[in-house]
Structure 1
Amino acid sequence: MNAIDQNIIERRSIKKFKDDAINVEEIIELLNVAKWAPNHKVNEPWRFQLYTAAGKEKFVEAFMEAMRTPEGEIPPKALNKADYFRSIPLHLVVVMPEDPRQRRWDEDYGAVSSMLQNFQLAAWQRGIGMIWRSNDWIYNPIFREALGVKPGEKIIATMMIGYPAHIPAKQQRTDIREKLTIISE
């Protein structure tokens, strides 16, 4: 098995991170590698917001405001999640313009998804782990507005990034033969 195959098979979504800081320049370098994902007409349909150090609090505050109940309270579960978010070294919000043309929208989404997979694989090779989150709160107008996401833009992911404190076991995947139809005539 070659190194690329091995990296694809071994990469895991990481939920538990060490406290160690991640160099922002290394993340920029990784994004510069990831940008070579295929994208139709090379329109690079992505933009990023990276939250680090004290800047993470803006991300956490946006999350907590989005979780606030109509009575103005933040549920205990959301407060626990906010503490968890504070413990993660970096948060990368990935935003895509929402083209009104369905074909372009689909092509752009595919390009951003490909770029994010490249990003995850390149980071994994360097010992950096992450998880791609697309939870309900990324659709909340309060969260979106607090982060400066404009109408006509879609949050594709919030990537939580750090050095893995725990690497989950590999989960079985279905043999592709069970999902493949071969048409030869």
Structure 2
Amino acid sequence: MTQVNEGIAATIRERRTINQFTGEVIPKEVMLALLDDAVWAPFHSRNEPWRFIMYLGAGRKQFSDAVLLTYPKDKLEKLGPQVEDAYCKQVPVTLLVLIEEEPRPKEWEEAFSAASALIQNLQLLAWERGIGVVWKTNEYNWSPEFREAAGVKPGEKVVGTLHLGYFDPVKVRKAKQRKSAAELTTLFE
């Protein structure tokens, strides 16, 4: 019989989406180590289907500026300083996870699914190091202005915008109840 690793199960059950960070810097080396482990997600193609753009330190302003390019003038005047403050001071790392756009449905689905598995790996690995993650799929991901300013190449799709940072464990939300697998499974025996 196979031995169960309770550590993995506990990490999966305990991980939460984190929206508020302490502001403590995450060293580039830590982020690259997390990604080096996260890329062990399964994929079907011969080549890994993902690429990353990471904004940290002074580079966070490039991400903030790219987001602000998508705001209409009235929203920019009202929220611009708050958005810049959030992305440049409160969020230590922003990471874009990208795949190549693919017209063939099967290949696109495989690449998108693999990148999603990679993101889940990253969330779990980060959680074990006390780093929280929020995975966003905002409207700006489709904006040509955002994409160009953010460094997204033509022909790439943004699978997720991830904000990462250390967090206060006391402020972590309680888990919502989940349905049991038995309730969600149609079983043929």
TM tier, smaller: over 0.9
1:137 aligns to 2:105 (yes or no):
no
Residue of structure 2 in register with 1:169 after alignment: 174
Q: Give, in angstroms, the shift of residue 79 of structure 1.
A: 4.0
Q: Is the 8 A contact 1:62 1:142 kept in 2?
A: yes
What whole-Å deviation, never above 9, does each CA across 1:106-160 have from its counterpart, x for those lacking one?
0000100001101110111111111111111111111111112123210111110
Residue of structure 2 in register with 1:93 after alignment: 96
What is the number of equivalent residue pairs in this alignment?
Answer: 182
Partner of residue 179 from structure 1, selected from 172, 184, 187: 184
Instruction: Give the Cα–Cα distance (whole angstroms) in 1 for the partners of residues 75 and 165 of structure 2.
Output: 30
Runs of 4+ that moved beyond 6 A = none
Unaligned 5+ segments in structure 2 are none
TM-score after normalising by structure 2: 0.90
Instruction: Give the Cα–Cα distance (whole angstroms) in 2 for the partners of residues 91 and 116 of structure 1.
Output: 13
User: 1:132 and 1:36, CA in 2 relative to 1: closer, same or farther beyond 3 A?
Assistant: same
Give runs of aligned pairs for residues 18-167 of structure 1, distance below 5 A. Answer: 18-67=22-71, 69=72, 71=73, 74-86=76-88, 87-165=90-168, 166-167=171-172
What's the Cα RMSD here? Answer: 1.6
Instruction: Give the Cα–Cα distance (whole angstroms) in 2 for the partners of residues 42 and 90 of structure 1.
Output: 30
Q: Give, in angstroms, the shift of residue 78 of structure 1.
A: 5.0
TM-score after normalising by structure 1: 0.92
Unaligned 5+ segments in structure 1 are none
Aligned residue identity for 2:57: A
